[in-house]
Structure 1
Amino acid sequence: MSSVVLSERAAAKVNLTLRVGAPRADGYHPLDSLVVFADWGDTVEVRPAPGILLTLSGEASRSLPADGSNLVLQAARALQSAAGLADGAMIRLDKQIPVEAGLGGGSADAAATLRALNRLWELDWPLDRLAELGLTLGADVPACLYSRPLRMRGIGEWIDILPAFDPFDAVILNPGIAVPTGPIFKAFDAAEPAALAEAGPMGDNRLDWLREERNDLEAPAIARHPEIAAALDWLRMRDGVELARMSGSGASCFALCRDRASAQAAAEAWDGFAVAVQLGGTSG
C-alpha cells in the first residue's frame, strides 16, 4: 500500500460580523456574516488504509469523541458514499482549536477532511461540488471548504468570495468555557427576533464599517455566560486594539489590532488560551 501522506490545514473561522434573522419554518436561521480565516488552526492528515479510521492528537482533542459523531468521520464516509468508492483512509486530526468555541473547529475539520480525501482518492471534485456535500454536514462547512474571506448568507450555502482583502493582525482568546450553539440560538429566539436585515456595502474604510456592524448572538451568549463580557472588556482595554467582538455563538472573542506586536502582547498577557494571528488576506 502506498505510503503517501497528505495534509490540509483546518483554519479557525472568525465571524467578523454576524447578523441573524428569525428562524424559518424549517428551523434554520437566515444569516449574513463577514467570515475570515486565521493562519492558525487544526491539521488533518490522510493516508491510504483498508477502511476509514481516525486518530486524534493535540490538547483540544481531549474532549472530542473519535466515534461516528465526529464530523471528520462523517465527512469521510459521506464523500466515500457520494463517490461510490471502496477506498479507505487513515485520518489523523491534530486538534488545536478549542471545542464549542465559536471558531468553526468541527466544520473546519470536516472541510479539511473533504479536501484531503478529494486529493488522496484522486476524485478531482471542484470546491463547489464538495461544498454541496459539505452543506449536508453543517451550515459552516461550505465556507470552511473555501477558507478565504467571504460573505456568507442564506443558512451558509450562499457564499460570495471577496476577491481582495488585506489581513488584520488580531488576537483570538477563549475565556475557558465551552458554549454549545443550540442553547444560544434558543435564547436568541426567545427574544422574538425580527426578520433578517442584511448589511449594507462595506465601503472603503473596513474598520468604520465593522464598528457599525455586530454579532447578533453576542447578547444572548453574554446573558448566559458573563465570562464573555469580561473577556471583551479586557480586550478593549489592551493597547493597540481597534475592535473587539465575539465570534460565532461564542465563547471565543477576537480583537483586531493596530499591528502584530499589539496582538502578540495581548495574547501573552491573557491568563488562559490566546493566540496572535492574521485574519483574512488574499490578493484575489
Structure 2
Amino acid sequence: MTGSEIVECASAKVNLTLRVGRAREDRYHPLDSLVVFADWGDTITVRPAAGLTLTLSGEASRALAGEGNNLVLRAARALQHAAGIRAGAAIHLEKRIPVSAGLGGGSADAAATLRALNRLWQLDLPVEELAHLACDLGADIPACLYSRPLRMRGIGDWIELLGEFAPLFGVIVNAGIPVSTAEVFRRFDAGAPAKLTESAPDLQNLPAWLAAEPNDLEPAALSVAPEIARTLEVLAAAGQPGLVRMSGSGASCFALYTSLDASRQAAAMLAAALPDWTVVPVQLGAGSDD
C-alpha cells in the first residue's frame, strides 16, 4: 500500500471436493465442498475518487470488456449503500484468472473489492458482516472473503473455517474453454440427482479422503465441454500427481503433488507443451496476502 492506495489479492478458489444435491424448492442446489485458495489470482487496487469507476488490465480481462454491471462494481455499490455513504473509489482490476473457469474469479474479485473498500472508507466492518452483505451478490463471495481453507455447505452461505492446514502443492490448468455454470447445472439436473449426502473432511488422513471424494458436477461439465477430458488426461500424465480433478463447475482442473518442486516441474513441462493454456504452479491453502 502506498499513500491512500490499497491493494488486495483476489485469490483463485479451488474446490478440492464438491458434493451437490438435487435442487431445493427455491431452485438453489445444496452443496458440501472442501475449498482452498491459491497463492495466485487477480489483484484489486482502490484509490479515493469522487465516484465509483472500474478499469481493467490483463489478458483475462478481455472477456469482461463491455460489461456494464461487473460484479466488482455491484459489490462496491452494495457496500456503499449498506454503509450509507457517498464516498467513491477508482477501482482497478488486474485480471489473471480466466473467466467462467470454475475458479471463482468473479467472486474473488468482488470479495477483494469489499475488503479493499472497507479499508479505504475506514468502515472497520468485521468480515462476518461483509459476508452477510455478500450473500445477495453471489454464493461464492462469502467464502472468498475469508480466503482460508474452509468447508462450504448450504448454498455456499454456511461456512466452517478449518484449523491448521498444511499447504498443498498443485498445478492449475485451464485450456481457455469458458463453461457456463448455469448450463452445467441444467445438465446436472437432467440426470435426476439424489438428495445431498454430506461428508465431513478428514484432515488427519487428507490424501486418502480426497481420493475417495467426488466433484459431482464433473460428468455434467464433461457433457457441456468434452475438451475438459483432455485437460484431465494431460494433468494425469504430468509427473506423478496424487490427485487430478476438475474445480467447481469447470473447465479448470488441478493436480496435487508431494512437493513444490514436483508441481513446478510438472507446470514447466505443461506450459512448454501447451503455450496457449493457462498453467500455474500453486500452493493451495490460504490465499495470498499480497
The answer to whether the superposition gives a TM-score over 0.5 is yes
Q: Which position in structure 2 is the counterpart of 1:50?
A: 50
2-structure distance, mates of 1:273, 1:86: 39
For residue 69 of structure 1, report the CA deviation from its aligned partner: 2.1
Following the alignment from structure 1 to structure 2, what is the Cα–Cα distance between the partners of residues 203 and 50? 48
SS of the residue corresponding to residue 223 of structure 1 reads helix
> What letter corresponds to residue 82 of structure 2 in structure 1?
A
User: Residue 216 of structure 2 aligns with which residue?
Assistant: 216
| Distance change in 2, residues 1:215/1:148 (3 Å) | same
Does 1:124 pair with 2:129?
Answer: no
Residue identity matched to 1:38: A
1:7 alignment partner in structure 2: 7
My pick for the range that moved more, 209-218 or 59-68, is 59-68
Counterpart position of 1:276: 281
SS of aligned partner of 1:92: strand
- Contiguous gaps of at least 5 residues in structure 2: none
Name the % identity. Answer: 60
Give the distance between the partners of 1:210 and 1:95, measured in 2 at CA. 30
Aligned to 1:111: 111
- Deviating more after overlay: 202-211 vs 142-151: 202-211
What is the alpha-carbon distance in structure 2 between the residues aligned to residue 75 and residue 181 of structure 1?
Answer: 20
Q: d(CA) in 2 for partners of 1:3 and 1:51?
A: 19
Distance 2:253 2:157 in 1: 24
Who is 1:199 aligned against? 199
1:203, CA displacement in angstroms? 4.9
Q: Aligned partner of 2:32: which letter?
A: D
Confirm or deny: 8 A CA contact 1:3 1:47 kept in the other structure.
Answer: no
Distance, in Å, in 1 between the alignment partners of 2:38 and 2:145 is 14
Contact 2:134 2:142 in 1 (8 A): yes
Does the CA-based 8 Å contact 2:179-2:224 persist in structure 1?
no
State the match for 1:179 in structure 2: 179
Corresponding residue SS for 1:205: helix
Classify the secondary structure of the residue corresponding to 1:226. Answer: coil
TM-aligned CA distance change 1:146 to 1:23, over 3 Å? same
1: CA distance, partners of 2:4 / 2:49: 11
Any idea what the Cα deviations from partners look like across 1:131-150, whole Å, max 9, x if unmatched?
Answer: 00111110000000000000
Spell out the pairing of 1:204-283 with structure 2 (5 A cutoff). Answer: 204-270=204-270, 271=274, 272-281=277-286
| Contact 1:54 1:66 survives alignment (8 Å) | no
Question: Which residue is equivalent to 2:28?
Answer: 28
TM-score where L is the length of structure 2: 0.94
Question: Aligned residue for 1:86?
Answer: 86
Shift of the 76–201 alpha-carbon distance from structure 1 to 2, 3 Å rule, reads closer
Matches of 2:27 and 2:192 in 1, distance apart?
Answer: 14
Report Cα offsets for 1:82-127 as digits up to 9, x if no partner: 1100100000000000000000000000000000000000000000
1:76 equivalent in structure 2: 76
**Alpha-carbon separation, structure 2, partners of 1:51 and 1:223:** 44
SS in 2 for 1:276: strand
Could you tell me how far apart the structure 1 residues matched to 2:158 and 2:204 are?
23
Q: Secondary structure at the match of 2:232?
A: helix
Over the residues paired in the alignment, what is the CA RMSD in angstroms? 1.4
Structure 1 alignment gaps of length 5 or more:
none
Task: Note the alpha carbon deviations across 1:193-219, whole angstroms, 9 max, x for none.
Answer: 001000144152100000000100001
